[in-house]
Amino acid sequence: MAKTWEEINARIASGEAVVMTAEEFGVLAADEGLKAAAKKVDVVTTGTFGPMCSSGVVLNFGHSDPPIRMGEITINDVEAYGGLAAVDTYLGVTQPSRTKGIEYGGAHVIEDLIRGKAVRLRAQSAGTDCYPRTEIDTWVTLDDLNQAYFFNPRNAYQNYAVAVNTSDRVIHTYLGTLLPHLGNATYCSAGALSPLLNDPTYRTIGVGSRIFVAGAAGYVAWEGTQHNPNQTRDENGVPVAPAGTLAVIADLKAASSEFYSAATFTGYGASAFVGIGVPIPVLDEEIAATLALTDADITATVIDYGVARRSRPALGRVTYAQLRSGEIEIEGKKVQTGPISSIAKARRIAAELKTWITEHKFELVQPLQLLPQPGSQGVKPLDIHTEEAN
Amino acid sequence: MPRKRFDLTFPPNQATKPITYHLVKDYDLTPNILRAQIQPGQEGRMLLEITGPKESFDAGVAFLEQEGITVQPAATDIKLDEDACVLCGLCTAVCRPGALTMSAETGALLFDKDKCVYCEACVVACPRRAITLSF
Ligand code: SF4
Ligand code: SF4
């Protein structure tokens, strides 16, 4: 009963496609069986809304008169990269403001742009024959820019760690504040709704896949940085720790502040919540089986962030259903849990994507190239050498 | 009998007198320390709940101020900016008394005022700066 991409897209175009969110599909498969669910449903939508530090935007400001080759660039006092062509820049979400520090970072500039606010652009240059201006100080809005698009090198991590702290002091991490002596546990994944957990071996999600990025239609541009298909997997083939990642691209001008939010993690830095949603075609029963997995079937590894080393000790595995209950047990101790990735927003994204497909006939794009597959590559560490290697 | 919560700030090297002892002995008040952070050589803070006869209240507070302590009414509520909140749930991870929790079914943020001790942990943890203490 296998379906092809073309058949599914034809059904979307004619308005007949049956589309469900990953949560709804899990319920249907439990009620009617996997075979029936796989036959009935054409597309399953996923969603996630968590802090994604490796995100940022490419901007082009247009030329002033006389023109400037922007060298040192700040936007609302946040430094943007000056190593591209004259009026191109890249602004990363974690870059802190020179005046407000991590309370206002690149992420906040991007949110202000999406909200239509004017931002102060200042740049300096040594001046050249063709770009004589040495300084510029002006205000711009998103509408004023020629191009503005997200290029996020690493989004939608396939699973993540559960963070705890066995040390005797409070620590501030990108997974929130961790209380001493296993005082709490934080976790950061949309679980059963998470895009890459629904297609654990990247059969349908690859370079060129059309996806939802911060409220805009965007694409998977490449494998994300630190993409690690070789991560340990469970009996369903689902990674039990951080594994695959996506590099994504999307128009900032079409993004929405409902699905993109700047963030500041106290004692750590600025970041941004980015909403990502991926539609997955129900091609056959094999993919249906992973689409049907629920929070009770998917596990994450508990990691001790109290040890500030690359290789931190693992303290066992728990399911997302246990994590969502608000309490897990680690080494015989009851530990309160708190999420970082918004499940309410993840549901909104999966539902929104469903509407795009059913009402606006958003068609699926088959990957032009697959992501590196399990067995192909892992993640290399950075070793510290004292002399140049030959 | 009135009961009030106060937010006390101690200047560095000032916390010498046993203030709770004096509040009990000299002013007939019942102090209850809800939270304290006092280290030698650093500014200290204490969340103090005081119960006692109305007449003694002002005298007790005056005594504290005389000792160089800044006395302010403590927060009695937390305010959530719902437009800023993204329902991430990170605040629930640091709320030890369990005043802030997440509904496992709906993912909504739930607040039980009776359990809140106004420790500000959620205020500091919220990545959207959506929570403020109010009076
Ligand atoms: S102030 Fe403290 S007790 Fe009250 S909700 Fe926030 S973290 Fe919980
Ligand atoms: S941490 Fe802040 S943004 Fe997140 S749920 Fe709590 S109040 Fe909302």
Mutate to test the pocket of ligand 1, among B114, B117, B124, B132 (most ligand atoms within 8 A of CB): B117
The atom of ligand 2 lying closest to the CA of B92 is 6
Q: Is the pLDDT of residue B15 over 60?
A: no
Instruction: Kindly report the nearest CA distance between residue A92 and chain B, in angstroms.
Output: 17
B96 touches chain A (CB under 8 A): yes
Do the beta carbons of residue B74 and residue B118 sit within 8 Å?
yes
B contact residues 24-63, partner A, Cβ 8 Å cutoff? none
Active site residue A53: no
Please write the tens of the pLDDT for every residue from B25-75.
Answer: 988 899 988 878 777 777 888 888 888 888 888 888 888 888 888 888 887
Q: Which residue has the least CA distance to atom 2 on ligand 2?
A: B126
Q: Which two tokens stand for residue A258?
A: 């409902």
Q: Tokens 């969502």 correspond to what residue?
A: A324
Query: What's the pLDDT score for residue B101?
Result: 95
The predicted structure's pLDDT at residue B49: 85
Tell me if A338 and B108 make a contact (CB, 8 A cut-off): no
Judged on CB neighbours under 10 Å (0-12, 13-18, 19+), A182 is: buried
Q: Which residues have any ligand 1 atom within 6 Å of their CB? A: B 78, 94-95, 97, 99-100, 116-122
Residue with tokens 């239609």: A217
Is residue A55 exposed (0-12), middle (13-18) or buried (19+ Cβ within 10 Å)?
buried
Nearest alpha carbon to residue B127 among A185, A246, A108, A327: A108
Contacts of A41 (CB under 8 A, 6+ apart): A18, A19, A20, A25, A28, A282, A288
Beta pairing, strands A48-51 & A135-140:
unpaired
CA neighbor of A149 nearest in space, from A251, A45, A30: A251
| Mean pLDDT value across chain B | 87
Q: Which of A177, A185, A264 sits opposite B129 (nearest CB)?
A: A264
- Give every CB contact of residue A223 below 8 A, 6+ residues apart in sequence: A207, A244, A245, A246, A247, A371, A372
- The reply to whether B110 touches chain A by the CB within 8 Å rule is no
Angstroms from A141 CA to nearest CA on chain B: 21
pTM: 0.89
| Residue ranges of domains in chain B, CATH in brackets | 3-73 (3.30.70.260), 77-134 (3.30.70.20)
Q: What is the pLDDT of residue A389?
A: 60
DSSP result, A226-288: T--TTS-B-TTS-BSSS---EEEEEEGGG--TTSEEEEEETTTEEEEEEEEE-EEE--SHHHH
Nearest ligand, measured from the Cα of A273: 2
Cα A223 to ligand 1 centroid, rounded to whole Å: 40
Contacts of A265 in chain B (CB under 8 A): 127
CB atoms A343 and B92 under 8 Å? no
SS3 call for B80: strand
Which among A326, A340, A347 is the nearest to B107, CB-wise? Answer: A347
Going by DSSP bridges, is the β-strand pair A19-21/A43-45 parallel, antiparallel, or unpaired? parallel
Query: Is any Cβ of chain A less than 8 angstroms from the Cβ of B80?
Result: no
pLDDT at B16: 63
Tell whether B128 is within 8 A of chain A (Cβ): yes
Q: Which residue has the higher pLDDT, A254 or B120?
A: A254
A260 to chain B, closest Cα gap in Å: 10
pLDDT confidence of B134, banded at 50, 70, 90?
confident
ipTM above 0.90, yes or no: yes
Closest CB to B86 among A177, A185, A261: A261
Report the SS3 class of residue A12: helix
Mean pLDDT by 10 residues, chain A (390 residues): 92 96 97 97 98 97 94 97 96 98 98 98 94 96 98 96 95 92 95 97 97 98 96 94 96 98 95 98 97 97 90 92 95 94 97 96 96 91 77
Phi, psi (rounded to 5 degrees) for A45: -100, 145
CA of B121 to the centre of ligand 1 (A): 6
**Interface A-B: count of C-beta contacts within 8 A:** 80
Q: Residue ranges of the domains in chain A?
A: 5-52+151-365, 62-145
Residue B133, min C-alpha distance to chain A (Å): 17
Amino acid at A39: K
CA of A180 to the centre of ligand 2 (A): 22
Contacts of B86 in chain A (CB under 8 A): 49, 261, 273, 342, 345
Amino acid B95: pLDDT: 95
CA atoms of A221 and A269, how far apart (whole Å): 26
Q: DSSP secondary-structure letter at B86? A: -
* Residue located via tokens 């919220």: B126
